Chains A and B, each alone.
Chain A
């Protein structure tokens, strides 16, 4: 693989950007692999990359039924942060943010991480108390987080209406939080994994598993059977569907989470702003569009489109906070199918079926988790034992009762 650098980009530019080589080999599936990863979203691709990079396991295939990043990885609102409440979540998401901070260098692909800060608002005295408690927990976990007064917030976000129907009583900020470019994360991992020898196959749908004496030995696909020593399911909203094909029931409900973008504007908002209570969050991309999201539609769904009632609710909340945005036009609205667990913590690790692993339950907030999710899953598959950072994220917690009820992850969906 030729690395991307200033001189290669300049050289290609002078030649009119013709004949750029493909970023990854789009291959035919082979007959047998050490590891088959099902799902070419961020988690599947990152898992494959770290298997090759950290553990020297390169006989790996990523099987994607559509195109890379066409699932939630390419549909999400790109919020990256580590301000979680429980120590297990904080340690895991902080590791992920650390990896994001070096990701462009590591992958030799600009993921455009912009640590512009993420500001969470409180609209009443009581919410402010809760936010202070949350901030304290985050700081005790060793993660940056500061309480802000309404005056400080007004300075940071001049367009925000502080005295609206839901007045701003204060908030807190994680300054290292921010956004990055989701497509680049998928493509960067695919390219780097491919360069290390991983096979990436698009248009290849896994339709079932070969299970012998309680252990997986391969997968069936629309392009034939493929033998595998180990198989990892990384299919987000379709986790239940695939798990059922291996005879498993999992604690997941699939729901539609929607997002939308406005027409592009000149720079006017340079942090991510979110209100857990009136249920909206917004940031401005480098292209100038406002990216707007809120909660998931309130019922089980595999329809990759959002309902209008929630869209209206999100926009009403946005305009409440930023009256000036009422004149904007929406350019696009879409949804992804997210895999929600009862405690909003992911499900990672082995399954009751031998050699079958799962990385799912990422719900509405798994984009920020892609680097650490891939790193820890790769370790878990390579050692057939959970990585210490995800030891508490296993399926068995629903039996032992050791749930990690991460309200901070679910306060608002991102």
Chain B
């Protein structure tokens, strides 16, 4: 069971949230090639380790926000609002992922 700290409501159970996939890169410009659009629309990093992802507190405040989570241990390292800068988590990468196997 995940416990997710909603930046608006505080810690709540996983059951109150909806997962929105990886926090995406910038939308390509309209003149981008099919390959660029395909990469943006469908391809994912899907890392075994730290990931930036979107969640919606759908049975609470109904706000979308971003979570930095480790995909083996499921530990949540940071939560930030839409429009806020990504927290610097680069130093965490690797070691934790290794520990998770």
| Residues in A lying within 8 Å of B, measured CB to CB | 238, 240-241, 244, 249-254, 298-303, 307-309, 342, 398-400
Contact assessment for A303 and B71 in the assembled complex, using a CB-CB cutoff below 8 Å: yes
| Contacting residues of chain B (11-45) with chain A, CB-CB under 8 angstroms | 13-15, 18-19, 21-22, 34-35, 38-39, 41-45
CA distance A299 to B14 in the complex (A): 10
Q: How many positions in chain B have a CB within 8 Å of any CB in the partner chain? A: 28
Which chain A residues border B13 with CB–CB below 8 Å?
309
B2 proximal to A (CB < 8 A): yes
Which of B46-54, B77-85, B86-94 has 4 or more CB atoms under 8 Å from chain A? B46-54
B1 proximal to A (CB < 8 A): yes
Which chain A residues border B74 with CB–CB below 8 Å?
301, 303
How far apart are B43's CB and chain A's nearest CB, in angstroms?
4
Contact assessment for A302 and B21 in the assembled complex, using a CB-CB cutoff below 8 Å: no
* Most chain A CB atoms below 10 A, which of B13, B71, B100: B71
| Residues in B lying within 8 Å of A, measured CB to CB | 1-2, 13-15, 18-19, 21-22, 34-35, 38-39, 41-48, 51, 53, 71-74, 100
Contact assessment for B73 and A309 in the assembled complex, using a CB-CB cutoff below 8 Å: no
How far apart are B40's CB and chain A's nearest CB, in angstroms?
11
Using CB atoms, name the residue of chain B closest to A339. B46
CA distance A211 to B71 in the complex (A): 28
Contact assessment for B1 and A308 in the assembled complex, using a CB-CB cutoff below 8 Å: yes
Across chains A and B, which 5 residue pairs bring their CB atoms closest together, nearest first? A251-B42, A240-B46, A249-B43, A299-B19, A399-B38
Which chain A residues border B44 with CB–CB below 8 Å?
240, 249-253
Identify 17 new A-B residue pairs, CB closer than 8 A, beyond the known A299-B19, A398-B43.
Answer: A240-B45, A241-B46, A241-B47, A244-B45, A250-B44, A251-B42, A251-B44, A252-B44, A253-B22, A300-B19, A300-B21, A301-B72, A302-B48, A303-B71, A309-B1, A309-B13, A399-B38
Q: A303-B71, A303-B74, A399-B35 are in contact. Are A298 and B42 (CB under 8 A)?
A: no
Which chain A residues border B72 with CB–CB below 8 Å?
301-303
CA distance A150 to B21 in the complex (A): 39
CA distance A299 to B2 in the complex (A): 10
Q: B interface, by DSSP: helix, strand, loop or mixed?
A: mixed
Q: List 30 A-B contacts (CB under 8 A).
A: A240-B44, A240-B45, A240-B47, A249-B39, A249-B43, A249-B45, A250-B43, A250-B44, A250-B46, A252-B44, A253-B22, A253-B44, A254-B71, A298-B18, A298-B19, A300-B19, A300-B22, A300-B46, A300-B53, A301-B71, A301-B72, A303-B72, A303-B73, A303-B74, A309-B14, A309-B15, A398-B38, A398-B41, A399-B35, A399-B38
How far apart are A246's CB and chain B's nearest CB, in angstroms?
14
CA distance A342 to B14 in the complex (A): 23
Contact assessment for B46 and A299 in the assembled complex, using a CB-CB cutoff below 8 Å: no
Q: Pick the contact of B48: A238, A249, A298, A342 (CB < 8 A).
A: A238
Which chain A residues border B51 with CB–CB below 8 Å?
300
Contact assessment for B42 and A398 in the assembled complex, using a CB-CB cutoff below 8 Å: yes
Which chain B residues border A238 with CB–CB below 8 Å?
48
Contact assessment for B34 and A399 in the assembled complex, using a CB-CB cutoff below 8 Å: yes
Contact assessment for A251 and B34 in the assembled complex, using a CB-CB cutoff below 8 Å: no
Using CB atoms, name the residue of chain A closest to B39. A249
CA distance A303 to B74 in the complex (A): 8
How far apart are A260's CB and chain B's nearest CB, in angstroms?
16
CA distance A29 to B74 in the complex (A): 35
Q: Pick the contact of A303: B14, B35, B53, B100 (CB < 8 A).
A: B100
How far apart are B57's CB and chain A's nearest CB, in angstroms?
14
Q: A300-B22, A300-B53 are in contact. Are A251 and B43 (CB under 8 A)?
A: yes
CA distance A338 to B9 in the complex (A): 32
